[in-house]
Amino acid sequence: MSLKIMSLKQISLGLCLFSLGFNGCSQDNPVKVQPSTAHDANFEVSFTLTLENRSSQTTLKTAFSSGVWQVSAQPSLFEIGKNASAELQRLAESGETGPLQKSLSAQTASGLAGMWSETLAPGQKVTFNFKAKAGQKLSFATMLAESNDLLLAPANGSLALFDSKNEPLSGDLSAQLELFDAGSEVNQAPGQGNFQFPRQKSADEGSVETSPVRLLKDVKDGFQYPAASALVSLKLENDDHHEETGHSH
């Protein structure tokens, strides 16, 4: 019986095939490793956002209206430095969500838009669910009731949902909340004004203002306001992770 001598190339090929299930071949035909679906720009991640009203007499005890939210690569609820839309003004002055939600839903490039119907009273929570893809952000707004036209919304108008590696974010993101002045009505002392939502007799009362949307901390109206995070907390969860705080996964 004659023995066939295997060449070094044949031996190498055999070893490569044997180890294919472990490390892959690193020669002419490398094994392609499939990326995690969390990195796929077309993969949707389910998120849950919870807002909790923790305002008190030591901050500014106030309710917040029902709110409008939008998921898009370029959220368009408002833009700092530009005048608020008529629909946003109605939310800021009287807590009306319908007109703004309808306007966003009609925009073909607006992405996903929705609203929550519950009023957020002190000590209460509101939760809503949505889906997003890598590159998309969340924008939302709700009226600070004890004001003339103030809104609670994410800083810069939108909240990042993914990190630089397209991994979904989760955790306590309260520090990313801000108060905004819609610029459509002159401010009165918070919690005291007769033209503020709890005390006004009808919508559109109050002195008209025509200023652009601004961060409240940039408005010089002579009144003192608490930080947004002292009034409301924000917790973001995704369908993969629920425990980590302030980190991507």
Q: What share of the chain is helix, strand, coil (3-state, %, to 5)?
A: 20, 30, 55
Q: What is the pLDDT of residue 136?
A: 94
Determine the pLDDT at residue 4.
47
Q: Sort strands 159-160 and 150-154 into parallel, antiparallel or unpaired.
A: unpaired
The pLDDT value given to residue 108: 55
CATH 3.10.129.10 assigned to 37-248: no
Confidence (pLDDT) at 110: 57
Indicate the pTM of the whole model: 0.79
Residue 7 DSSP code? P
* Phi and psi torsions of 86, nearest 5°: -60, -35
Q: What percent of the chain has pLDDT over 70?
A: 78
Question: Are 77 and 104 in contact, with CB atoms under 8 Å apart?
Answer: yes
Give residue limits of the domains in the chain: 1-33, 37-248
**Residues 1-42: tens digit of each pLDDT:** 444 444 444 444 444 434 444 444 444 444 443 444 445 667
Report pLDDT digits (tens) over 79-95. 999 999 999 999 999 99
Residue 142 pLDDT exceeds 50? yes
Inter-residue long-range contacts of 215-220, CB under 8 Å, 24+ positions, other chains counted: 215/80, 215/178, 215/179, 215/180, 215/181, 216/150, 216/178, 216/179, 216/180, 216/181, 217/178, 217/179, 219/181, 219/187
